[in-house]
Structures are given as structure tokens and as C-alpha cells.
Amino acid sequence: MKLTRPQINIHNHYFQLFILIFIFTIFSVSACIRLSIFSGFSPVECSSSDDMDSHYDAGDKYLKISAEKLYYTGYDYLVRNSVRGHYYYSLENEKCTIYLISCDYLNNAGKPPLTLENISLNAALKKNDPYLKPLLEYMAADLNWNYSGLSAHTGTVVVSEYHYSLPLYITIALTAISGIIATVISAVYIVIKSKPSKTTDKKSAHNKSCGVR
């Protein structure tokens, strides 16, 4: 079966579309894997007394935490000069753990409470957070201490309620699943269209037998 120029153009169009869908799917699936999206749907339950570094090292990127008491550090999280969250800390088992709590969770209109007691929250664990060291330096100065001394008793993981977003995880997961389905359908369609039609083959054979050129 020979393809005419219009047919070739149509096939090229579908093939280009397939490539775009395939690349989009790769990015979506990669995002799911890198962010451990599906584990965000069922965070691991734990207590604020747990070692958050150990949870992170064990592969637990999302936690549902029950905290008896958190203390306001006096410092806030800003995005484009707008306060979006507040830094808190817990002191348990001679270890300090830093928490980032969103303004939406606190519903405080810019006035964070000095303490949070008996709360439950879903959070993402953030390793190597660029704001952790400056925060500890400020806190150490407030305590008339030094960064080395404070950091030695502080976890390296920030527990961020602010960065936990279930709607975002659902959107990314649905996008990846839709991309996979679209890729499979496109591939099947291209394969089917690439196969010669039986009707066309019969007509071609009939024409040859009748001497049609």
C-alpha cells in the first residue's frame, strides 16, 4: 500500500502529537516519582517526639503528626514580601525540631499564637532547606548562644505543613495517569493507521487482475 502525500502529512501530524504527549507523560511521571506523590495520599502517622531525620532517611516524605506543644520562633516565612507561614519549634528528647506552619492552617490574620497545643497536621519533610541555617543563626542570637551549639541539638529536616498540598498531589497524579492513557491510545491509533487496509489490498489485487494501471 502506497501512502499519498495528504496521508503522509496526517501520519506525520499524529506522530508529532504522539511525541509531545509522550514527553509530557515522562515529565508528569518523573514529578510523581521525585515528589513521592502517591505516598502523600496516606501520610505516615507519628508523634512530634519522633526523630524526623530518621523518618526522612526511612523514605517517609509525608507525615501526619500529633504534636503536644509547639513554640513560635518569632520568625515568619515570606513569599514576595508577603507572610505565608510561621516557624515553630518543638523541644522533645533534648532535640529541637523546626516546623513551618501556614497562615491558612493557623487562620490567624497575621498574629501567630506563641504556642500551639495538642494539634494534628499533615506535613512534608524538607531536607537541606536553604532557610534552616539562617533561621537557626537568628534563634541562636536571640538565645545568646551560637549556631554550632544550637544546630547540634536540632534536626536537619524541616517539618513543613506549608508545603503539604493534597490538591496539588491529586492534580499531578491525575495528569500523569491521563498522560499514560493518552500515550497508549495514541500509540495504538498510529499502529492501526499504519497497517494497510484489507479493502485497499483487495481493490489493488482486483485492479491488477483486470489489467488496470
For 101-129, the pLDDT digits (tens) are 999 999 876 689 999 999 999 999 999 89
81 part of a folded domain: yes
**Torsion on CA atoms 92, 103, 164, 183, rounded to nearest 10:** -170
pLDDT tens by residue, 28-46: 777 666 667 667 777 999 9
CA-to-CA separations, 109 to 86, 104, 112, 153, 162, in angstroms, rounded? 12, 9, 8, 32, 16
Residues 61 and 131 in one domain: yes
Tell whether 212 is covered by a domain.
no
Q: Are residues 89 and 189 in the same domain?
A: no
| Domain hosting residue 28, numbered range | 5-34+169-204
pTM: 0.72
User: Does one domain contain both 74 and 140?
Assistant: yes
Q: What is the average per-residue pLDDT within 155-184?
A: 84
